[in-house]
């Protein structure tokens, strides 16, 4: 089932995460999903269910992959809960919007692809009963999704609940839950939204537990489960990473030779990444290991390549800078100008770009990108991007087109190197390619570009001298 709302801020995350936690507490295997590119909500979903939070995004991966990726993630689960994004019908906007596709990549779009029933979460804090019903009626009638029930959120009293419940039920829709205003259920937030669960794990675990208890006491879980059970079977085969990797000239899937070790940055400062990216690297022949730039003083033994995803390094700039041994080790691996190390493959997105810069908010970083400094900006940069590679890199080839997104409140000076990585319509050249290092603000879901995993692994194998 899909948990949606008329607008952002209505309580989707509260209800979706609470449902996941409540059903998991019942002993059900719950598969958690998030519509759109967001990294943060899936972290809370993972805590609630014990399974990786997965994203479903037609823009990042294509319409054709939404159902296969869903089936891949939901294998072995009793129930799948999909948290929507923004308002139910809000899709890709601006330059990323496909012609004639106003709800493309919206929650409604994904719900239609999955043929899944929708639970509509309505913030009733500033409306009486019949106005709430009118809103529900409009959203149920507007598109072709099946709204199967309503959860009323932020109710003020028993009388308020009764008015809203009766008005909605007159439409022939069940009210599956009614939540009061609960400050205790709030999740911590900062300038880009919620604080990632991995940053404050103890607090996040407690928050998820509270959400599960709140939803269990406020919703008819049996009725919700019955609604989810009304979703018809999906005939499309599950996505499998090795089946989507490109074959070489000899018809071999994945890279041949040894099994290079690719170190992926993690820990509180680097929490953003799609699980499928790592699965593709493993299918292409890599061994994926984790390291924490806040605490580990060296790269993992035998590292043949490094991937540094997104996160909030600006919140940890001083601590990242203080770990000088790792900064020097990474600079040596990437072949920074003041090292004698042989350049190794490095792929970095957003937070990774900041970490590879010379400075971040005045704090020394790795210096892999000499002369590049990063600072906080007054405005948030957020949106889908249709990008084209303007330079060959460790993953891309000139002229290749990709779909990604930006999500940051920092800027770099300069904004790109003499060999930039990408170009898209809303800006000039963007990012940096330096030897076998590529770094930019562009976030990519590699299920849409599986060849990137093959190329990264092959570059790592070449670096380790293992190519055959």
Catalytically annotated residues: 350
Q: Work out whether the CA dihedral 53, 58, 61, 65 comes out positive or negative.
A: positive
The residue assigned the tokens 């996160």 is: 311
What is the DSSP secondary structure assignment for residue 419, as one 8-state letter?
S
- From the CA atom positions of the chain, what is the Rg in Å? 23
Instruction: Return the half-sphere exposure (C-beta side, CA atoms, 13 A cut-off) of residue 208.
Output: 26
Using CA atoms, how far residue 176 sits from 122, 148, 215, 465, in Å, is 11, 9, 10, 60
What is the DSSP secondary structure assignment for residue 317, as one 8-state letter?
H
| 407, 448 Cβ separation under 8 angstroms | no
| 316, 268 Cβ separation under 8 angstroms | yes
In DSSP notation, 204-256 reads HHHHHHHHHHHHHHHB-HHHHHHHHHTSPP--SPPP-GGGGSPB-TTS-BS--
The torsion of the CA quartet 295, 298, 302, 303, rounded to 10 degrees, works out to: 70
What is the DSSP secondary structure assignment for residue 407, as one 8-state letter?
E
129-142 vs 158-169: helix crossing angle, rounded to 10: 40
In DSSP notation, 271-299 reads -B--HHHHHHHHHTTPEEEEE-TTT-SSP
**What are the residues facing 122 on neighbouring strands?**
152
Cα gap 98→198, rounded to integer Å: 35
The torsion of the CA quartet 238, 284, 269, 196, rounded to 10 degrees, works out to: 0
CB atoms within 10 A of CB 397: 11
| 168, 150 Cβ separation under 8 angstroms | yes
Q: Label residues 98-119 b or e (16+ Cβ within 10 Å = b).
A: eeeeebbbbbbbbbbbbebbbb
Question: How far from the centroid of its chain's Cα atoms is residue 8's Cα?
Answer: 17
**What are the residues facing 430 on neighbouring strands?**
422
Cα gap 343→324, rounded to integer Å: 19
């Amino acid at each position: 089932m899909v948990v949606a709302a008329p607008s952002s801020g209505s309580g989707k995350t509260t209800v979706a995460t609470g449902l996941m936690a409540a059903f998991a507490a019942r002993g059900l295997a719950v598969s958690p999903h998030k519509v759109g590119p967001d990294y943060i909500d899936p972290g809370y979903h993972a805590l609630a269910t014990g399974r990786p939070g997965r994203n479903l995004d037609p823009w990042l991966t294509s319409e054709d992959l939404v159902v296969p990726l869903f089936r891949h993630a939901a294998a072995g689960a009793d129930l799948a809960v999909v948290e929507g994004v923004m308002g139910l019908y809000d899709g890709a906007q601006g330059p990323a919007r496909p012609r004639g596709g106003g709800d493309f990549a919206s929650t409604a779009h994904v719900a239609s692809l999955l043929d899944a029933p929708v639970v509509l979460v309505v913030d009733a804090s500033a409306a009486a009963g019949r106005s709430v019903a009118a809103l529900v009626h409009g959203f149920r009638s507007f598109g072709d999704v099946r709204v199967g029930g309503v959860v009323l959120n932020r109710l003020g009293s028993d009388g308020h609940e009764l008015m809203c419940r009766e008005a909605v039920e007159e439409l022939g829709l069940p009210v599956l839950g009614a939540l009061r205003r609960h400050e205790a259920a709030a999740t911590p937030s900062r300038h880009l939204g919620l604080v990632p669960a991995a940053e404050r794990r103890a607090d996040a675990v407690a928050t998820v537990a509270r959400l599960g208890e709140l939803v269990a006491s406020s919703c008819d879980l049996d009725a919700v489960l019955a609604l989810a059970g009304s979703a018809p079977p999906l005939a499309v085969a599950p996505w499998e990473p090795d089946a989507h990797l490109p074959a070489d000239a000899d018809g071999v899937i994945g890279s041949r030779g040894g099994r290079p070790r690719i170190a992926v940055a993690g820990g509180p400062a680097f929490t953003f990444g799609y699980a499928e990216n790592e699965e593709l690297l493993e299918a292409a022949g890599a061994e994926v290991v984790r390291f924490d730039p806040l605490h580990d003083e060296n790269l993992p033994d035998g590292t043949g390549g490094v991937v540094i995803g997104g996160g909030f390094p600006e919140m940890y700039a001083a601590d990242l800078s203080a770990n000088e041994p790792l900064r020097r080790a990474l600079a040596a691996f990437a072949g920074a100008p003041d090292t004698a190390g042989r350049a190794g493959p490095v792929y970095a997105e957003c937070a990774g770009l900041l970490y590879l810069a010379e400075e971040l908010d005045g704090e020394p970083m790795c210096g892999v990108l000499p002369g590049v400094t990063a600072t906080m900006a007054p405005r948030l940069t957020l949106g889908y991007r249709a990008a084209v590679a303007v330079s060959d890199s460790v993953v891309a080839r000139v002229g290749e087109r990709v779909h990604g997104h930006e999500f940051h409140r920092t800027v770099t000076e300069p904004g790109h190197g003499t060999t930039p990585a990408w170009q898209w319509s809303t800006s000039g050249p963007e990012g940096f390619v330096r030897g076998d290092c590529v770094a930019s603000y562009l976030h990519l879901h590699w299920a849409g570009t599986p060849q990137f995993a093959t190329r990264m692994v092959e570059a790592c194998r070449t670096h380790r001298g293992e190519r055959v």
